[in-house]
Amino acid sequence: MIASNPGFFLKHEFLIRRLHSLSGLIPVGAYMTVHLLVNASLLNGAGSFQHNVNQIHSLGKLLPAVEWLFIFLPILFHAIVGVWIIRTGKSNQDRYRYVSNWRYTLQRWTGVIAILFIFFHVFHLHGWFHGEWWLKTVAEPLGMAQFRPYNAASTLATAMGSFGGFVWPVFYFVGIVSCVFHFANGVWTMGITWGVWTSAEGQLRASYICAAGGVLLLLVGLSALAGALQIDVKQARDIEDRMYNARVAGGEIQPTPDKRAEASPSEEVEPDGAEVGDAEPLKLD
């Protein structure tokens, strides 16, 4: 008799699949929803978006720990297990072209696209690693690591406009659509996995609800993309710098040059030696 070793994944398949399913909702799906909502505040102007980014970065030194614990590690777990599921699963879509089989196939393809999208999205805006050598020697010369939290809207707009101004918008459009479909359809399959909806009627009702939620979330995501593409960089930079200067003057934060864009227009020194950034503080309603 030949002994067989099922391996770690197969040995704990039941638990891993359920944890994978749950992680797609909380925290990965929940984070994506909040992230898109925050980005959609760009439609209200650079000041509104900067205010939301400031709230996130108010965590200070605790932020990296929160990001790794509740965002990066869950995404890595969900992605690794997802790749294993894709490699071991088989679709009969070629033989039986039912809607569920198409959804099965699309769920896996959008998962792959979502992994690649998140990978390059983080590189594009944050550079993966925050070490000065990496950023200055590798990421920034490639046009990556463009985002600066204290000049949020303006640096986002600059990053989106690189490589001819059409590459990144198309990239983000495909990525957002893939992520939203993967999440919405994943919620539906999660309900089956966890036994929330078991009957055919219940699954049909759930599919309508998940589809409607997916459409709404997609509108939010595409609104965020549209908001990023309509930013006036100079105007946004002026608002951001006045908000930053007001926070520094009020003792709310310490001066942090590495979190700001270089050659900020509102900090250009005028002939008489005064700085534009020292103008009347921004009043927020």
Q: What is the per-residue pLDDT across 50-84, written as a single tens digit (0 to 9) for each?
A: 999 999 999 988 998 999 999 999 999 999 999 99
More confident call, 96 vs 142: 142
The HSE-up count of residue 136 (CA atoms within 13 Å, CB side) is: 4
The answer to which of 7-16, 31-40, 67-76, 183-192 has the lowest mean pLDDT is: 7-16
**Amino acid type, 17:** R
Higher pLDDT, 144 or 11: 144
CATH class of 20-55+62-267: mainly alpha
Task: Supply the pLDDT for residue 145.
Answer: 94
User: Which distant-in-sequence residues (6+ apart) come within 8 Å of 16 by Cβ?
Assistant: 9, 81
What pLDDT digit, counting tens, does each position of 246-266 carry?
999 999 999 989 899 875 444
Q: 34 or 92: whose pLDDT is higher? A: 34
Tokens representing residue 103 in the block: 């959804």
CB burial of residue 99 (10 Å; 0-12, 13-18, 19+): exposed
Q: Round to whole Å and give the CA distance between 236 and 75.
A: 32
Q: pLDDT by residue (tens digit) across 228-246? A: 999 999 999 999 999 999 9
Is residue 193 very low, low, confident or very high in pLDDT (cuts 50, 70, 90)?
confident
Q: Which of 65-69, 130-134, 154-158, 224-228 has the lowest mean pLDDT?
A: 130-134
Higher pLDDT, 273 or 198: 198
